[in-house]
Every structure is written in structure tokens, then in C-alpha cells.
Amino acid sequence: MELILYRGISVTENEADEIINIIKTDGILESPNANWDPFIIKNIKSKLDEYLNFPKLSIDDTRPKTKWVKTKKGGYRQPLEGDKCMCFADKEGAMYYATIHNRNKTNTVPLLIEVVVDSDNVFIDGRDLLYSAFGLLEPNKMEKFQKQRDMLQSIYGSRIDKYLLKLINNPNSDRFAICDLAIQDEQIILDHYSNDLLVKARHGVKFRSSFMVAIPIKPELIKNVERIDGNYLVGTADITIQEILMR
């Protein structure tokens, strides 16, 4: 299924026109000159049911294999597999990122990028909300847990319950590995895409839906790239991460 998604970035005045032309001409690629790095996701969409049946699911099952690379300052884990992805959102969420979250004294020009992509190449970005929820839910407190389930379903659809039940029934499974499955579920992706609630998540970020999209994104999939003039007034959140976590 085709989804229309948006990415909000901020750039310097001197480079704005060039970046707009590059995106329109070349699409969205990994760039050594970018001030952001792609995120790596192991695409396991075809194996979700198989992994759900693992009695002791771990992130070794759900995340890319890595190798340790030594550096002068220590080292880092280099992924050996997986899809490189960039962050996208609904239009209002992308406007927030472009005009507020990513904007600073150097990068003063907000840009809004509109793309049309196949849902096969889309994953939910759960870093600012869903992973925190999975990590801190308390299924042993049933009344509280039921309220939390209801709120998560209002944002991600009823299908999220399939993974919450895994969390309840398989306490030996890693909670974040279970969430790794949920962010790749096609129905949850589509339900989250249709979400109308404005969410305030970690670090105060606001969105109605938040995604990762595999790159490269070909130029023919770029619908528009435009400057955003002036300030953008983001609405009041309908639901917050603090309400979901009840903390």
C-alpha cells in the first residue's frame, strides 16, 4: 500500500536551494555531508509469526548482526546487515520537526519533504514512545495495564494487543525485542498511519504518526520539497507519554 509521508529538516540559508535541488533530482540518499546518520533496521516482516512463537525472544533475534570496530576513542558497533532508514512522520509532525525540533541558530531554514512510499519499506519509529511504553508497562497491575493498553490501541490500533499479550505471556522474552516485532507489523503500521491523535512523546516531540523509511528513496517518489516560511504553531497534544506511562 502506498503511504504519503513527510520529513522535516532544517538547513543553512546558503545550502537550502542546493539541498532542495539534490533531493528533487537524486531522491533521498545516505550522504556523508548530512548532519544525521541513517538508522539500521533488520527487516523481519515475513517472520513475525515465527518470532512471536519464540519462548525466549531476544534482540539477537530481531536486530542486525554487528561487529566491533576499534577507534582511537574506543570503538562502536558496525551493523553487518539491515535496511538503512530515515525518519518520517505525518505532515503536522514533520512541520514540528522542521520548524522547532531541528531548527537552531545555524540551521535556520526549515524544509518539508513529501514522499510517497510503499508500506513494505516502512517501519514504525518507536524510539520516542513505543519502546518506552514496552519497557515500563506493568502487566502485573491489571487495572493500570488495561488503561495503558487502551491508550496504546488508540494510537497504534487494536493489533498492538497481539504484542502486549506476548509481553504478558512470555516474561522471559526481551520486551524491546517484542517491540521490534510490533514496529514491523503491517496492520499496526497502517493503523498508526491513520491515527488522528496528536501525541507528545519523549523530549517533547509531537506527531500523529512517526515512521522509519528505508533508503534510498528514488526521485520519482519525491512529491515535493519546500521551504517553510515563518513559525508554525503546533496544536495541544491529545495524549502524552506521561499519561500512557502513568508517571
pLDDT digits (tens, 9 = 90+) for 118-135: 999 999 999 999 999 999
Average confidence (pLDDT) over 19-36: 81
Q: Is 146 exposed, middle or buried (0-12, 13-18, 19+ CB in 10 A)?
A: exposed
Residue 233 domain-assigned (yes or no): yes
Total tally of structural domains belonging to the chain = 1
- Using a pLDDT cut of 70, give the percent of the chain over it: 96
Tally of CB atoms within 10 A around 70: 8
Average confidence (pLDDT) over 199-203: 95
User: What is the predicted pLDDT for the residue at 79?
Assistant: 86
User: What is the predicted pLDDT for the residue at 247?
Assistant: 78
Residue 136 domain-assigned (yes or no): yes
Residue 131 domain-assigned (yes or no): yes
Computed over every residue of the chain, the mean pLDDT equals 93
Residue 121 domain-assigned (yes or no): yes
Average confidence (pLDDT) over 177-198: 98
**pTM score:** 0.94
Average confidence (pLDDT) over 233-239: 89
Residue 123 domain-assigned (yes or no): yes
Cβ neighbors of 119 (< 8 A, separation 6 or more) are 1, 2, 3, 186, 189, 190, 193
Residue 205 domain-assigned (yes or no): yes
Residue 101 domain-assigned (yes or no): yes
Residue 73 domain-assigned (yes or no): no
